[in-house]
Amino acid sequence: MSDGLFSPALEYVVSLGRPLRRFPLVGGLTVWDDPPEGKVILAVACPNRLGVFEPLPGRAWWDKLWWWPDPLSPDPPGYRLAPRVEKQNRAPVRVAAQGSGDRDLRAEACERSLRAADYLIRRLRNLRGVRVPTVSHGRRFPLLLPVNPTPALTRVAEELRVPRPVDGWPGLVICEVGWWQSTKRLDSLVDIVRQAVQGERPAALEDAEREWSSPPP
């Protein structure tokens, strides 16, 4: 299994009681080195827990691939169209929108989420010392700070998370946004990151309200 699995997917795979081998993340991507022999089931999240879209591993050495997608990111064609790939359960994206009824709004929700991520990335790249790695991503993406992010950014905002360490990416923070973030909210996240880089302790933000009527950035 990939080290890019989210905790619920990881817990599910472990609960099956099968022999496991974990392949590491390096620079945001799973390194599928020295593949085992025999029939193998791969467990992959795409995008992974860092927000990076993983390329489909070479098909010669695995029998089946379990794929956990993100409901608010587009499906990568390499996974969606490939044989022997089983998409794991994903609920439709439903929101309370006036006049829309209870319907699946995934396509529009994905578009709004990606626009929010693009806006936030443009703002963050203007901060001195802050780097957004050049990787394929969706609404979740990695952010590299020139300082240790743990003291300042732990439980400060629901959109910012300090993950367990990843080789090659010091100062790693994961940013994750959705269709509900307003421009004002995204600007507040930029200010929080700026304060953390400057050695300050930012004030915590309340969780964002999920209002479909809020204009996207």
Residues with Cβ within 8 Å of residue 167, at least 6 apart in sequence: 24, 25, 26, 27
pTM listed for this prediction: 0.86
Dump pLDDT digits (tens) for 78-114.
888 888 899 887 555 555 544 445 456 788 889 999 9
Domains assigned to the chain: 7-87 (no CATH), 106-197 (3.90.1150.10)
Q: Per-residue pLDDT averaged across 164-181, rounded?
A: 90
Question: pLDDT tens digits, residue range 13-33?
Answer: 999 888 888 999 988 999 988
29 exposure class (CB count in 10 Å sphere: 0-12, 13-18, 19+): buried
List of residues 6+ apart from 130 with CB closer than 8 A: 124, 143, 144, 145, 146, 193, 197
Question: What is the pLDDT, as a whole number, of residue 91?
Answer: 54
What percent of the chain lies above the pLDDT cut of 70? 91
